[in-house]
């Protein structure tokens, strides 16, 4: 067998659904009400991944820079919508702010990795860029969702404190700085926790996939280190950008705390 990839036949792929039946059985036994979500999620997984598989075959063959960039933009928009929908406590879903934060952090960190570390020829190789940017986005959208949710929850809890600081002459930034720090910590904590236990508790997806594909474990480890560090940088940059742009939405143009924030204390 050597370094060859072990193929998964259609029959074996169908057998993997048994794993969902196990989860569904647990849900039914405990009456969790998750059967419909599990079934729909499984169907979407098959359809979406099958579709994207055919799309990627075409994109990898064409390998056009503008097509790749368009796909990255669409990925950022989808990720922005998904992340903002996870923050029910945030009024007027800031999809635009999330989109620009994700796009800027993903492109910045992704290009550093692709151009300076991996450096394929040509540098805009779709087979490299799309998986790298996808991993960055998948982790960044969770981070910015946590940071945005924590920013608003802390503002609701500290509304009285913020108003007091404003009354004593503090600027909006000075009044809300503590909330911003807590929001940044919330967004980055899961990523930092992953750094602490990677290799000891879990073998991440990219490393596992490369090993299953026959890549030497030492080389797979090198790639995984780069991936972990790029994700950390991207999450930090994305959270900082989003929180830095979003905290101003807590205040009116004249620097007063908005009514929906102060009203949360009632």
pLDDT of 202: 65
- Which tokens hold the place of 47? 């359809």
Describe the chain by its helix, strand, coil percentages, rounded to 5: 80, 0, 20
Q: Residue with structure tokens 């196990």?
A: 22
pLDDT, position 108? 92
Structure tokens at 27: 């849900």
| Angle of helix 126-157 versus helix 35-62 axis, rounded to 10 | 140
More confident residue, 224 or 202: 224
Report CA-CA distances (Å) from 104 to 49, 162, 229, 234, 240.
26, 30, 17, 9, 11
On whether the CB atoms of residues 135 and 210 are closer than 8 A, the answer is no
Mean pLDDT of 240-255: 87
Contact 95, 81 (CB under 8 A): yes
Q: What is the pLDDT of residue 64?
A: 92
Q: How much of the chain, in percent, has pLDDT values that exceed 70?
A: 91
Task: Read off the tokens for 38.
Answer: 């599990």
Check: CB of residue 151 under 8 Å from CB of residue 92: no
User: What distance in Å separates the CA atoms of residue 235 and residue 155, rounded to the nearest whole number?
Assistant: 22
Cα 126 off chain centre by: 20
- pLDDT-derived band at 212 (thresholds 50, 70, 90) equals confident
Q: Can you give the pLDDT at residue 266?
A: 47
Tens-digit pLDDT profile for residues 131-171: 889 888 988 888 898 998 899 889 888 888 888 898 888 88
Q: For residue range 66-88, list pLDDT tens digits in order.
A: 999 999 999 999 998 888 887 77
């Amino acid at each position: 067998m050597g370094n060859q990839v072990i193929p998964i036949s259609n029959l074996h792929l169908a057998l993997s659904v048994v794993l969902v039946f196990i989860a569904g059985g647990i849900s039914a036994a405990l009456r969790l009400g998750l059967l419909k979500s599990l079934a729909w999620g499984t169907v979407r997984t098959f359809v979406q991944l099958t579709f994207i598989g055919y799309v990627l075959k075409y994109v990898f063959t064409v390998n056009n820079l503008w097509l790749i960039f368009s796909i990255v933009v669409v990925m950022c928009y989808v990720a922005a919508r998904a992340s903002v929908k996870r923050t029910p406590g945030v009024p007027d879903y800031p999809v635009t702010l999330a989109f620009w934060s994700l796009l800027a952090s993903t492109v910045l960190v992704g290009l550093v990795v692709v151009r300076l570390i991996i450096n394929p020829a040509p540098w805009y190789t779709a087979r490299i860029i799309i998986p790298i940017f996808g991993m960055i986005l998948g982790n960044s959208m969770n981070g910015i969702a946590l940071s945005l949710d924590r920013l608003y929850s802390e503002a609701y809890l500290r509304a009285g404190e913020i108003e007091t600081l404003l009354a004593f002459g503090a600027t909006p930034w000075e009044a809300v700085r503590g909330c911003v720090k807590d929001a940044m910590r919330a967004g980055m904590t899961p990523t930092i926790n992953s750094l602490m236990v990677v290799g000891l508790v879990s073998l991440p997806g990219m490393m596992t996939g490369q090993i299953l594909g026959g890549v030497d474990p030492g080389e797979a480890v090198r790639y995984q280190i780069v991936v972990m560090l790029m994700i950390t940088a991207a999450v930090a940059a994305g959270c900082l950008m989003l929180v830095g742009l979003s905290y101003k939405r807590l205040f009116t143009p004249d620097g007063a705390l908005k009514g929906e924030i102060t009203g949360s204390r009632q």
